[in-house]
Amino acid sequence: MKNFKHFMFAFVPSLLVIGIQYLASFFAMGLSLLVENSWYAFSDSADISTVLYDIENLWMSSDFNTGILLIYNAFSIVVFGLWYYMKYGGNYLPNPRTTFHPAALFGIVMLTPGTQYLTTYIMAFVASLFPNWMDAYEELLETAGMDENISLLMILCSVLFAPFCEELVFRGVTMKQLLKCLPFWAANLIQAVLFGIFHMNIMQGIYAACLGVILGYVCEKGGSIYYSILLHILFNFWGTVISEYIWIGDSVFSVIFWFLFGIAMTAGGLLVFYFGIRKRNARTADAAKADTAAQA
């Protein structure tokens, strides 16, 4: 019965963060209505149709949606950051020597292009089967301002704020809660599925769930949420900024090459990361033995 309660409670963070999204939207819409009405309050020429027209254009703009994302992300980082710290022992000031290792960090760097290309091929395969899903995904990106005219504010939100927020929600709180009642592989799979569902778009959800499995692994095996945050930041930065300057090509050779490249970089990145974590743990154990011997 206790395990069942732990399991059901693991769904609360996903529901709460969606609720925060809606609250941020209502707050921004209400504030914009107040400002718009105040602006036209002293104008004799303005009528209700003018106000509604301006409000509709504002609410449909990418800048307005970016503002909502920033409000939602900032508030969620505070809420889930405190939750993770107080309930699950989150360490926000880790000792760099006992937490990080150069090889593990290099593995994260290798995983960035690897996961990018693999998820791209997964999306391409799914899109070939369900082209309307890709159309809906591209329309969503345009509405959110994630097109060729992406703003600096949107880049900041996507590359920095979103990774911190989503890692705290899914790898910080959700996965830690699931680990109270499930083995790691099951907890990791469930949090990844919830991460995909959270994106509320089939195409985006598929690649988010695939990425979520990798993020969960590096977070748990690395012993620090900073590993998954770093990978998430680099992944979003690659997809938002760097990918625009990389030519892939559409020949059969290019398709096969980049697919194999994605597999090699992902597998290699995981191996290098695992090696780095083992070296870090061995170094930490040796340091602990030396301290014990010195105190004896």
pLDDT tens digit sequence for 25-76: 999 888 887 877 776 666 655 666 776 777 778 787 778 888 899 999 999 9
Q: pTM score > 0.95 for this model?
A: no
**pLDDT tier at 147, thresholds 50, 70, 90:** low
- What local confidence, expressed as pLDDT, does residue 51 receive? 67
What pLDDT sits at residue 43?
61
Structurally, the chain folds into a number of domains equal to 1
Q: Report the pLDDT value the prediction gives residue 40, as an integer from 0 to 100.
A: 66
Is the pLDDT reported for residue 170 higher than 80?
A: yes
Identify the residue with better confidence: 95 or 10.
10
pLDDT digits (tens, 9 = 90+) for 102-116: 999 999 999 999 999
The pLDDT value recorded for residue 144 is 62
3-state secondary structure the chain: CHHHHHHHHCCHHHHHHHHHHHHHHHHHHHHHHHHHHHHHCCCCCCCHHHHHHHHHHHHHCHHHHHHHHHHHHHHHHHHHHHHHHHHCCCCCCCCHHHHCCHHHHHHHHHHHHHHHHHHHHHHHHHHHHCHHHHHHHHHHHHHHCCCCCCCHHHHHHHHHHHHHHHHHHHHHHHHHHHCCCCCHHHHHHHHHHHHHHHCCCHHHHHHHHHHHHHHHHHHHHHCCHHHHHHHHHHHHHHHHCHHHHCCCCCCHHHHHHHHHHHHHHHHHHHHHHHHHHHHHHHHHHHHHHHHHHHHC
pLDDT confidence of residue 246? 81
Min mean pLDDT across 43-52, 149-158, 181-190, 287-296 is at: 43-52
Ranking 4-13, 32-41, 179-188 by mean pLDDT, the lowest is: 32-41
Query: Which pLDDT score, from 0 to 100, does residue 255 have?
Result: 86
Instruction: Provide the residue range defining the domain that includes 240.
Output: 2-295
Per residue in 195-234, pLDDT tens? 999 988 888 899 899 999 999 999 999 999 999 999 999 9
pLDDT beyond 80 at 130? yes
Average pLDDT of 260-267?
Answer: 96
